[in-house]
Amino acid sequence: MAKPKRVGVYVRISKDRKGQELGIQRQEKACRELCERLGWGVRKVYPENDVSASTTSRRRRPVYAEMLRDARDGLIDGIVVYSIDRLTRRIGELSSFLEDQKEHGFAFATTEGEDTSTAGGRMVLTIKGAVAQQETERMSERINTSLLQRREQGKPHAGGRRQFGFRAGSHFQELDEVETGLIHGGWAMLTAASPKTPGDVARYWNSEGSTTPHGGDWTIQSVKRVYRSERTGGIITYKGQDIGDSVYGAPLTRQQWERVQSVLDSRSTPAAQGSGKRKHVYSGFLRCGSCGSALRVQALRSRWKEGPMEDEDYFDSLAHLRTELGSLRARQDASDIRRGRAETDDALAVWKNDDDGNLDQRRALVATVIDHVDVFSVGRGRRKPPEPTSIAVTPAS
């Protein structure tokens, strides 16, 4: 085989906590020295820093995949690595690599002297790959055993991002008094006799000048994440199993945490409890002017609540149409509500009352004058508000 002149040098290190890339620099130096001794020409270096190649890692290796594509396409005619465990720690991946080498005929070498040109050399390389995978799996087992022992002692996992209620850098061992106070205040709001909502808690925390651990404003979802976290209740888990209580304390007790779970669960169930009830004044009235399908008001409302949006996004949201006509259901609701309107003396007062409990009365007023509203798409890419002609209102008969 002729000496390769377009060699790719692959260097990788699993963990680079300081981000200095010293490990891959040493590997590259050794690989270049090997190429110089062999008379191989280096064309490109493929560095993959802080990326694991073990069987326990789910992260992809885009640089490794790029190198293999270049080898298959003939852009490089050789691959050099520091050692076989830098290339991979998976026996299946190693076997696939050797098949690619055999099929596409590129050279391969390591600084440890493996030879893939003979059956015996490939066997030795495969054995080394199996040993590397076994060592990785043993390391994983030792780590898992150590983590389980730590959990059983009531010590939470010390890694991960800071969580609201705990001091930064304390590894979840020390509480932040101010944030803990806010968590208690929010808990009292959620579990009161007349309970508030997570949205109320978000507004309360924002009004107090509090921010999320990432520095953002509180939202309904971010508040829920705080109360849904087992760490907030001092509960130690391992692989989804409840192990016990933390020895370091937590913003809420286990009993408080379990109570707020019941409150949040009761608010998030109910497709069964509220299913057929309208939640918006105009739901059932808006429909697509082209196909007649009812528009989902919730989709439009959620997009608008997120802030200003481009007209293109607005009209794109109109594409989310239901497949069933909603006019019959809207008319039935309107018929039931009209009877209640006869008992209403002041229609203007009813309309101005936008409480959730008054939604049916407000819909009754709409139903007396509107049968449905057709919304026509004016095309994608517009940067101006909708034209009046894009909406057609059909009065009630």
**What is the DSSP annotation of 114-164?**
---SSHHHHHHHHHHHHHHHHHHHHHHHHHHHHHHHHHHTT-----SS--T
Whether the predicted model's global pTM rises above the 0.85 cut: no
Q: Residue type at 30?
A: A
Within 13 Å, how many C-alpha atoms sit on residue 12's CB side?
A: 21
Decide: 204 and 185 in contact? Cβ < 8 Å: yes
Backbone angles phi, psi at 55, to 5 degrees: -70, -20
Q: What is the pLDDT of residue 304?
A: 46
Region of 3 (left: φ > 0; alpha: ψ -120 to 50; beta: rest) is: beta
Q: What is the largest CA-CA distance in the chain?
A: 99
Q: Dump pLDDT digits (tens) for 211-237.
A: 999 899 999 999 999 999 988 988 887
Predicted local confidence at residue 46, as pLDDT: 94
Compute the distance between CA of residue 300 and CA of residue 310 in angstroms, rounded to an integer. 13
Beta bridge partners of 108: 79
Helix, strand, coil % over all residues of the chain, rounded to 5: 50, 15, 40
Q: What tokens does 354 get?
A: 């936008």
If you ran DSSP here, which 8-state letter would residue 296 be given? -
The continuous run of DSSP H or E covering 30 comes out as helix 22-38
Each residue's pLDDT tens digit in the chain (397 positions)?
Answer: 578 899 999 998 876 554 555 688 899 999 999 999 999 999 999 998 767 655 455 677 889 999 999 999 999 999 999 988 888 878 888 888 888 888 998 999 888 887 676 666 667 777 776 776 677 667 666 766 766 666 666 666 666 788 899 998 888 888 999 999 999 999 999 999 888 999 999 999 999 999 999 899 999 999 999 999 988 988 887 777 777 788 788 899 989 999 999 888 887 644 444 445 556 666 666 666 655 656 555 544 454 455 544 444 444 444 443 434 444 455 555 554 444 444 444 667 777 777 766 777 777 777 777 877 777 765 555 555 566 677 788 887 6
324 phi/psi in degrees, rounded to 5:
-105, 145
